[in-house]
Chains A and B, each alone.
Chain A
Amino acid sequence: MTKGLLFSFLFHSLIIFLTMLTLPFMMREPIDLPPIVSVELIEIKDKTYIPFAPKARKIIKEVKEEQKRVVSEQAPPAAKAKEKPDRIPMPEDKKETKELVKKKQNPEEIKPQIRQASEFEKDELFDTNEIAALIDKAKEEQAETQRKKQELTQSSVKNAFAQGLSLSEEDALRAQIFGCWSVPLGLPYDENLLVRIKLKLKPDGRILKSEILDHARMNTPGQSFYKILAESALRAVRICQPLKVPPTGYERWKELQLNFDPSEMLKG
Chain B
Amino acid sequence: MKKIIFILLLSILSWNNAHALITVDITRGNLDPLPIAVSPLHVDTESEKIPSFETSTLGEEISKIIEKNFKSTGLFNPLKKDSFVQKPDIAHLKPRFEDWRLIKAQALVTGKLLIKNNKLKVEFRLWDLTAAKEMVALSFTTTPNNWRRVAHIISDKIYERLTGESGYFDTRIAYVSETGPKNQRVKKLALMDQDGFNTKYLTLGNELVLTPRFNPTNQLVTYLSYFKNMPRVYLLDIETGIQEVVGNFPGMTFAPRFSPDGKKIIMSFAKDGNSDIYSMDLETRVVEQITKHPSIDTSPSYSPDGKYITFNSDRSGLQQIYVMRSDGTQVKRITHGSGLYGTPVWSPRGDLIAFTKVRKGRFYIGVMRSDGTGERLLTENFYQEAPSWSPNGRVLIFYRETKSDSKGKGFSAKLWSIDITGYNERRLKTETDASDPSWSSLLSK
* Chain A contacts to B: CB under 8 angstroms: 2, 6, 9, 162-165, 170, 173-174, 177-179, 181-187, 189, 198, 224-225, 228-229, 231-236, 238-239, 252-253, 255-262, 264-265
Contact = CB atoms under 8 A, between A and B. Distances in A.
Contact of A184 (B1, B27, B162): B162
Contacts of B392: 186
A6 B5 contact: yes
Contacts of A165: 22, 24
B24 A235 contact: no
B19 A163 contact: yes
B86 interface: no
8 contacts: A6-B5, A182-B29, A183-B29, A255-B22, A257-B22, A258-B24, A258-B25, A261-B25
Contacts, number: 115
B1 A262 contact: no
A172 to B, nearest CB: 10
A255 B30 CA distance: 25
A238 B130 contact: yes
B163 A186 contact: yes
A228 B23 contact: no
For the residues of A in contact with B, the DSSP-based class is: helix
Contacts of B21: 198, 255-257
A170 B24 contact: yes
Contacts of B2: 2
Q: How large is the interface on B (under 10, 10 to 19, 20 to 34, 35 or more residues)?
A: 20 to 34
Contacts of A170: 24
Nearest to A239: B130
A178 B31 contact: no
Contacts of B421: 185
A185 B26 contact: no
Contacts of A260: 26, 29
A3 to B, nearest CB: 9
Contacts of B30: 178-179, 181-183
Contacts of B131: 231, 234-235, 238
Contacts of A198: 21
Given A6-B5, A255-B22, A256-B23, 6 more contacts: A2-B1, A186-B392, A225-B164, A225-B165, A234-B130, A265-B28
Given A252-B19, A256-B21, A181 B26 contact: yes
A220 B1 CA distance: 50
A197 B26 CA distance: 11
Contacts of B25: 174, 258-259, 261
